[in-house]
Structure 1
Amino acid sequence: MKFLVVSFDGLRPDLLSRRLTPNIGRLQSLGMTLSRHRTVYPSETRAAFPSLVTGATSNIHGMVGNKFVDRAVVPNRYIDTADADLLRRLDLTSDGRLMTAPTLGEILYRAGKSLAVLATNTPGTTRLFNHKAEDLGHVRFSGHFREACTPDALLARIEAEVGALPPAPEKGAPDFEGQVWITSAFLDVVWPTIRPDVTILSYGEPDTTSHFHGTASATTRSVIELCDAQFGRILDWWEAEGQSDGVQLVILSDHGHITAHTRVSVGCELRSAGFNPGTAPAAGVDVVIVPGQVGALYLAERSPANLDRLVEVLTERPWCGPIFTAPRNTVEGLAAGSFASSLVFADHERAPDVYFSFKADDSIDAFEMSGGTFYDNDRVPGLGVHGGLHPKELAAVGLAAGSAFRGDGLVSEVPSGICDIAPTILHLLGLAIPASMTGRVLSEVLGNAETAVAEDLRIEHETLETGLNAFRQELRRVHVAGTIYLDGATAAATSIVSQEALEVAE
């Protein structure tokens, strides 16, 4: 039995349709759709894909966001995990502790099995799928970036047979060439030559195009169609050859998108409240604001008083959504009014002092897609963002097909998540599941006697609340057979906005 995991970065499940994604639709009619599939928090790519390959949340694997501050060194340093070379250096200098949980590549290697990765995401994301691939003798190819590719000899063969590694597209331009290249590399060279036990084929779109053109714009739809067509080539191969060779297909996305509608400046807001913020550690900076849609704040002076003051300022801002700090108890964070970060499985030693999501709502955008939010970047309103806890950010594509799974177009209503894929694969390969994995085996989708129906699984919903003064927040979670999934969170605050922040935003 072998596995091919195909990912579409940032694809919202409600964009799937027979017209836009006919090939994914073909597979839906053959397999089982996971209709309540979810990602992790932060709902960012380089937190979610490490969760895919470790079967664990960020408090276990340590990739706490696309960017973070490393406090394990003096002076503290700012880490951008898009940089593949930096990630390699960090892993080597930390004695292999870049990821603080065993990955699928390492687990398969110890069992004498192989993992191949082909991806058109950033070079750092590509590395994180199997960050030790060169040490393990595994295949890892980027559709654009040589620094994320290994081994060189096989890359040379692919370039000879498929074509030269295409250059990365200009900023904001849809990535068409890369998706075609990695599909051809798998079909024409990697599979015929190696037949990996597990392959991850990651299309980096429609995420990039959603960020620059809007989640359901004509441009984004065109790149979704292109990715679906490339997947159609995979599906044709699977129906003609792969299925009879025992290949199981898993289709997913790492997060959804919502639409940015109102720009604010967190830096200006904190400055007006008496802080001296910066985007990286530096002399005189008392709070680092890590750029991104999920708010990550690192205090230079980590006293309880400073933490309380920072959170109180956030609770007074109308753009601020749910807030998390290190746990004081099972529900409340250390700062009054905050949730415990352990509730969203974000309490790693690398985590910021304060996580917050921008306040989101169910507004309808220009493309008739629901989900809107405040944001803090230099782009115009109307474009796609993610990172927070709106249900449309958390919702992800999930689909399984093959002899190991139930099929014929069935739909599972049981909540599932990105952390469940690795333990399910290991279970079906007959390999031990490490205690570090927080995901569960998706027994309800298995096609043999161990299949569980929804009635066999204990499913419990919970709603948690906390707040400070006029600020109230609510977190919704669902428990399935001991595994917890995030269903969303909301918050409401008073309306204090500094004039400086409004002028910057305008």
Structure 2
Amino acid sequence: MRFILIVLDGLRPDMVSPASMPALAALLTRGTRFAEARSVFPSETRVATPSLVTGCRPAAHGMVANTVFDRALAPGRLLRTKDAADFHILSAGAESPLLRPGIGEVLAAAGLGFAVVSAGTPGQTLVASPAARRLGQFRWNAADTDTPDALAVARQLGPTPPASIPNLARTRHAARVLTEYVLPVLRPDVALFWCPEPDISFHYRGLGDAAAALAMTEADQCVVRIVAWRDAQPDAKAIGLIVLSDHGHVTGHRKIALAERMARDGLPAGAGGTAITIAPAGAPGIWLDDPGLASQVADWLARQDWAGPLLANDPTLLPGRTGALAALEAQHPRAADLVLLFAGDEAPDHYGLPGRAPFDAGDVPEGGGMHGGLHRRELATVLAFEGGPFTPGLAMRGMADLTDVAPTILHLLGLGAAGMDGRVLHQAWDPWADAPAEPERIAWPGGFVLEGGRQAGRFYPTALLRA
């Protein structure tokens, strides 16, 4: 039995249709689809990727945001985990910042193969398979030029096209790397394919833009190529496909430069080397040199109409005025002291698509797609199992998230998932195991409530709402 994971970065499930993505829509119909699938918090790629491969949420694996601040490792600036150099700084001399082994390490211990093909950022690819070099596993990123795997791919398929928006040529080339080299030549037991679209085009052109439509079409063509390769194999019935997105998107309709606004109003805020360090994001992290500054930050935010609730890493910080990162299994020594959630809504954006939220991100234009927070459009993800052992043509009522995928694969390969917090999704081949989640609401200060469901003892968030 073999498995191919297809991750379509940033794809919102409500935007998949026979018109926009016919191949994927057909796969969702004929496979086992988890209509209540969710991302983790924060709903960011370099948090989602380790959650997918380790089967754990951030509290356990330790990768808490796309952008972090560490006073000991880089006291004067933020660390951006998309960059390989910053990834290695955050690793502090270890193989990676992750505190739990990934699926590649578990497979290697059992003598099974794992390969990663990604046109995402270098940091995303590193965190997907940090032990690849040590274990002799294939790991290729579109930005790689001089690694042994990159040189082997270049000899076989030629050079990697340059990045663009929409990132069509690179996406197409990555699909060729998977279907023309990795799958037929290396034949890994589990392959992870990371498609960078439609995330890139959603961010920089907007969810309803023509570029985003082209990006979704190209992502759909990746599905076409992978399904066609699988169906042409003699053992096609033993090759299961798992298609998912790592997070969704919400339209960023109001751009907030949080550190600049705070500094303008007299708070010592900046991007490092200041008493208050802020990491721009869909849910900005706030690090405090002095915990006494927390009340000043909270008082200032309480006067902003775009601010939602504050979450605290330490529950004793501002008790009664903050929610807890622990409620989302996102607390960790590396996490920010405070995390701000923006107050979004379900109003239509300028394309008529539902879901808007303020955001803080220097390079994303106002009106572009954004993610990271707890808006229902950010949390909702695609998740479907097709072929191989999976039951065809069913939509599951139960909830699931990224951490449930690796334990499910390992179970089907006859391996344990020790140390993984995710659940084995038995209903993917045993529909009688399916059951809806028990609804649950968490009240947070400021008149906000987090809706979600509890499934097998785990809380799966659905949406942040105004109470």
Q: Is contact 1:11-1:253 (8 Å) kept?
A: yes
Offset of residue 245 of structure 1: 5.8
AA partner of residue 162 (structure 2): P
1:354 corresponds to which residue?
338
Distance 2:8 2:320 in 1: 39
Offset of residue 127 of structure 1: 1.2
Question: Please, which runs of 5 or more residues in structure 2 have no aligned partner?
Answer: none
AA partner of residue 97 (structure 2): L
SS of the residue 1:314 aligns to: helix
Distance 1:309 1:95 in 2: 37
CA displacement 1:179-201 (0-9 Å, x = unmatched): 11111111111112111011000
1:158 corresponds to which residue?
153
2:433 corresponds to which residue?
453
Distance 1:298 1:211 in 2: 26
2:10 corresponds to which residue?
10
1:490 corresponds to which residue?
465
AA partner of residue 391 (structure 1): R
Which of 399, 413, 427 is 1:415 aligned to?
399
AA partner of residue 328 (structure 2): V
1:209 corresponds to which residue?
201
CA displacement 1:432-459 (0-9 Å, x = unmatched): 1123x22111111124xxx54334x7x3
Q: Is contact 2:204-2:365 (8 Å) kept?
A: no
1:296 corresponds to which residue?
285
1:389 corresponds to which residue?
374
Distance 2:177 2:394 in 1: 32
Offset of residue 313 of structure 1: 2.0
Offset of residue 57 of structure 1: 0.7
CA displacement 1:196-227 (0-9 Å, x = unmatched): 01100010011011111111221101111011
CA displacement 1:139-183 (0-9 Å, x = unmatched): 011123337xx5x1x4333222322122223xxx21111111111
SS of the residue 2:423 aligns to: coil
AA partner of residue 487 (structure 1): T
Offset of residue 123 of structure 1: 1.0
Q: Is contact 1:38-1:417 (8 Å) kept?
A: yes
1:36 equivalenced with 2:36 (yes/no): yes
Q: Is contact 2:262-2:268 (8 Å) kept?
A: yes
Distance 1:381 1:86 in 2: 27
Q: How does 1:95-494 map to 2 (within 5 A)?
A: 95-96=94-95, 98-146=97-145, 150=147, 152=148, 154-169=149-164, 173-241=165-233, 244=236, 246-280=238-272, 282=273, 285-301=274-290, 303=291, 305-328=292-315, 334-378=318-362, 379-407=364-392, 409-435=393-419, 437-447=420-430, 451-455=431-435, 459-467=437-445, 471-491=446-466
Q: How many residues align?
A: 466
Distance 2:24 2:73 in 1: 46
Q: Is contact 2:115-2:188 (8 Å) kept?
A: yes
SS of the residue 2:309 aligns to: strand
Q: Is contact 2:8-2:198 (8 Å) kept?
A: yes
TM-score (norm 1): 0.88
TM-score (norm 2): 0.95
SS of the residue 2:14 aligns to: helix
Distance 1:132 1:71 in 2: 26
SS of the residue 1:70 aligns to: coil
CA displacement 1:408-464 (0-9 Å, x = unmatched): x211121111111011011111111123x22111111124xxx54334x7x322112
| CA distance 1:473–1:127, shift in 2 (3 Å) | same
Q: Is contact 1:334-1:340 (8 Å) kept?
A: no
| CA distance 1:388–1:243, shift in 2 (3 Å) | farther
Distance 2:282 2:203 in 1: 11
| CA distance 1:74–1:200, shift in 2 (3 Å) | closer
Distance 1:66 1:226 in 2: 25
| CA distance 1:335–1:159, shift in 2 (3 Å) | same
Q: Is contact 1:70-1:76 (8 Å) kept?
A: no
Offset of residue 273 of structure 1: 4.5
Offset of residue 89 of structure 1: 5.1
